[in-house]
Chains A and B, each alone.
Chain A
Amino acid sequence: MIRKECIAMLLAGGQGSRLGVITKKLAKPAVPFGGKYRIIDFTLSNCSHSGIDTVGVMTQYKPLVLNSYIGVGSHWDLNRKNGGVTVLPPYVRESGGEWYKGTANAVFQNIEFIEQYNPENVLIVSGDHIYKMDYSRMLDFHKERDADLTIAVIEVLWNEAYRFGIMNTNSEGRIEEFDEKPENPKNNLASMGVYIFKWQALKEQLLKDEHEAYSQHDFGINIIPAMLYEKKELWAYPFEGYWKDVGTVDSLWRANMDLLEETPKLDLYDDGWRIYSVNPTKPPQYIAATAVVKNALIDEGCQVYGEIERTVLFPGVIVEKNARILDSVIHANAQIGQNVSIQKSIIGEETIIEDGCKIGESGEDKKVTVITGSVMVPSGTVIESGTVLSFENCHKFSCIALDK
């Protein structure tokens, strides 16, 4: 087989437990975002546009939605005879099988997959982040410096640096020190969780790390410090632009709201770097004569008869007359009845809100209200701001869980 210059290994096994009920039934990379996407679309589209045609997607937690979503990768132009997308769940060997114990162990368990392509370099990315990035430029940078490992970094606010893995570099950008979530950061260059390794250098580390008894088998905690200790060539590749890890309900809501700014930092309309996703096959949206639509993102198949402001509607949402939706994100095929008020909320797929309900409240100090998918909220129900209503607890609010 032809030697591949660089293949990608995409970590998509994360539960994203801080997203709570939103990731109850799906892995974090499958979380809907921006009116038509799932978070993993950004990484897969980046790979596709960067000329990386071989992507191993390592899944583990609740993989059903993700697996069927990815399919053979044709939606991202990644269906290839040699390479393409391969979904890689943990599997059983002669000696028995085990779950992916950490990010590095997930790659370790797929050494055979990687070796099939005999790559010079391996790009490790995560399916949890929202950003547009040309990995081919990072690969050029990596090759120019003959690096063993290049880590993409982004400048973060100094007062937030403590939440990230911080790279301390020399003036040329060579990494001298790595601080995972430092109390007193010396620098504000945060790791984006995007790594390019020389495959031989990575393989050597993975084999060693696997036998370390106390290792957590994690890139940030184990592999990078080990390589620094061995004085390998580690370089920081500076990235400028929008990059977001939507780890919590609040940040997921905010990232959606970011798209409604007049000129959002994340440009979805750039024809040269389209974000690909699976198309829902819906007709154009219908905005009725009774509708008022301001500052909104609306996807195909929606029917709007009511009032919408600072809101994102996913495909197939119906908003009836005199309903008023403010500062909210409504997922696919939800039905919003007449005279309903929804403020600062995330409403899940296929949810039915009957006439006259009042859900959530807007305001900086108010918490995001969440109603997960496939729930029926009966006529006239009031759901207070900050409530998290799910399949499991919905009976407490006299709501009904709908069978899918």
Chain B
Amino acid sequence: MKDVMAIINDTAHKQSLKELTFHRSLSAMPTAGRYRIVDFALSNMANSKIRNIGILTQSKNRSLIDHVRAGEEWDLISKRAGLFILPPMRMSDNFLSEEGDIYTYYEHLDYIKRSRQKQVIIYANDIVCNINLSEFVDFHKNSGADITVLYTLRDKKYREKHTLIETDDKEQVIDMAINTENAFSNKEALGIYIMDKKILIEIIENCHARGLGSLEMDGFVKNINKYKIMGFKWLGYYMRINSIRNFFNHNMDLLNPDIWKELFFKSGLIYTKVRNEPPAKYTNNSKVSNSLIANGCVIEGTVENSVLFRGVKICKGATVRNSIIMQMGIIGERASLRYAILDKQAIVFAGKQLRGDKHYPVIVEKKARI
């Protein structure tokens, strides 16, 4: 894998995540009890022995940079390669999202050219999964493809926007559509691509020279006849965090022990920034069932069907059901939560009640006091 580098594209912005992405980019979004979305990408790469990783960031990158720092947790401290933060060179993200990501790639073309690796993996910022990328890389190398796109199969009944592909019987991609609601295929691309570095450079330079802004739309979809694009089928568990509902449901998926095991152990461990929290403490009054609890939590109340991130405190008599509480949240005595998502450091005072709906959880923004 020393011939492969990877770029995580964290420029895409999801309006649909509302308050949860006001302060942070999608990569820095907390998920699964103690992680950020980017932890899964970085761990998959580190576990697959990829040693040169760039992250294209948007201007709201403080949270992300504070989290990944120099990449020590993923063993990316390296003399010659390691982790590279590639910030936007223009001021406004609106400007960026209108014009697409090609400009950001173009601005960092030097980094791509200078890297010694021959192949590049491009990785989306909304995917959470545990995958051995070396199988993907081997498939690409053996198939003679110019570009390989990773896809999974899913039920046609889902009506959310997806990137779909259709392939022929040799797995060559014959049609591809970005963010479509028209379910012409059940093959969903997960935003993970691999290609020879020289092809990526060619696409970026061609698009940029013609004023085309999107790597996927202009670089891949429009070139479907020019390049040989292959599909690589992968059927593991994944979360695509592109809406509040998806975020909520996927976190609840982890209460299924089979999914818990697959996501955290299947192809390697998932690393994250260590906070040195003590073990979770349960008192005589605690009642916990079917829940995911991170370290540093102190639970004196009732918790059911919920996900508690690190350092959450549930006071006596409080009840938390079907909710997600991010880092350092405090739920006061006798307070009651149902179908709620609390961003970091939110406080619900004693006796307060918060009720969302299964299909529409309430969101409490970072550091809110209720």
Contacts and interface: CB of A to CB of B under 8 A. Distances in A.
Are A and B subunits of one complex?
yes
Interface of A: 34-36, 74, 262, 268-269, 274-277, 279, 281-291, 293-300, 303, 312-313
A35 B292 contact: no
A289 B289 contact: yes
Contact of B282 (A269, A289, A298): A298
A225 to B, nearest CB: 40
Nearest to A36: B279
Range of interface residues on B (Cβ < 8 Å): 35 or more
A31 to B, nearest CB: 17
Contacts of A299: 279-280, 295
Instruction: Specify which of B33, B260, B276, B296 lies most central, judged by the most chain A CB atoms within 10 Å of its CB.
Output: B276
A287 B290 contact: yes
Contact of A298 (B271, B280, B290): B280
A293 B282 contact: yes
Contacts of A281: 269-271
Contact of B279 (A283, A288, A293, A312): A312
Nearest to B307: A284
11 contacts: A34-B278, A262-B284, A286-B257, A286-B260, A286-B293, A287-B289, A288-B289, A293-B282, A293-B286, A296-B281, A300-B295
Interface string B263-277: 110000111001010
B187 interface: no
A279 B274 contact: yes
A300 B293 CA distance: 8
B52 to A, nearest CB: 22
A303 to B, nearest CB: 7
A285 B72 CA distance: 24
A36 B280 CA distance: 11
Given A297-B281, A298-B279, A299-B279, A284 B271 contact: no
Given A284-B33, A288-B289, A313-B279, 11 more contacts: A34-B278, A36-B279, A262-B284, A282-B264, A282-B269, A283-B32, A284-B32, A284-B34, A291-B289, A296-B282, A299-B279
B284 to A, nearest CB: 5
B260 A35 contact: no
Nearest to A279: B274
Contacts of B308: 284
A233 B295 CA distance: 46
B290 A285 contact: no
A36 to B, nearest CB: 6
Contacts of A276: 276
Contacts of B260: 283, 286, 303
A294 B293 contact: no
B293 A268 contact: no
B291 interface: yes
Contact of B288 (A268, A287, A303): A287
A275 B291 contact: no
A291 B283 contact: no
A270 to B, nearest CB: 9
A274 B296 CA distance: 11
A397 B95 CA distance: 73
A287 B293 contact: yes
Given A274-B276, A289-B289, A283 B281 contact: no
A115 B33 CA distance: 48
Interface string B325-355: 0000000000000000000000000000000
Contact of A291 (B278, B284, B288, B296): B288
Contact of B276 (A74, A275, A288, A298): A275
Interface of B is mostly: loop
A341 to B, nearest CB: 20
B298 interface: yes
Contact of B283 (A274, A288, A295): A295
Contact of B286 (A277, A285, A294, A300): A294
A300 B289 contact: no
Contacts of A295: 282-284
A281 B75 CA distance: 13
A268 B264 contact: no
Contacts of A296: 281-282
A377 to B, nearest CB: 24
Nearest to A262: B283
A292 to B, nearest CB: 8
Contacts of A290: 289
Given A286-B257, A288-B257, A297 B264 contact: no
Q: Which of B274, B286, B295, B308 has the most CB of A within 10 A?
A: B295
**Residue among B257, B260, B279 with the most chain A CB within 10 A?**
B279
Contacts of B255: 286
Given A294-B284, A297-B279, A284 B274 contact: no
A36 B289 CA distance: 23
B288 to A, nearest CB: 5
B164 interface: no
B68 interface: no
Nearest to A276: B276
Contacts of A274: 276
B7 to A, nearest CB: 25
A96 B181 CA distance: 79
B31 to A, nearest CB: 11
B294 interface: yes
A276 B33 CA distance: 20
Nearest to B292: A284
Contact of B278 (A262, A268, A282, A285): A268
Contact of B290 (A268, A288, A313): A288
Nearest to A297: B279
Contact of B292 (A74, A286, A294, A313): A286
B264 A289 contact: no
Nearest to A269: B278
B365 to A, nearest CB: 23
A303 B34 CA distance: 16
Given A281-B271, A285-B293, A287-B288, A35 B278 contact: yes
B278 A283 contact: no
Contacts of A312: 279
Contact of B291 (A74, A268, A287, A300): A287
B269 to A, nearest CB: 5
Nearest to A35: B279
A276 B264 CA distance: 23
Nearest to B274: A279
A284 B293 contact: yes
Nearest to B299: A293
A124 B292 CA distance: 42
B33 A283 contact: yes
Contacts of B283: 262, 294-295
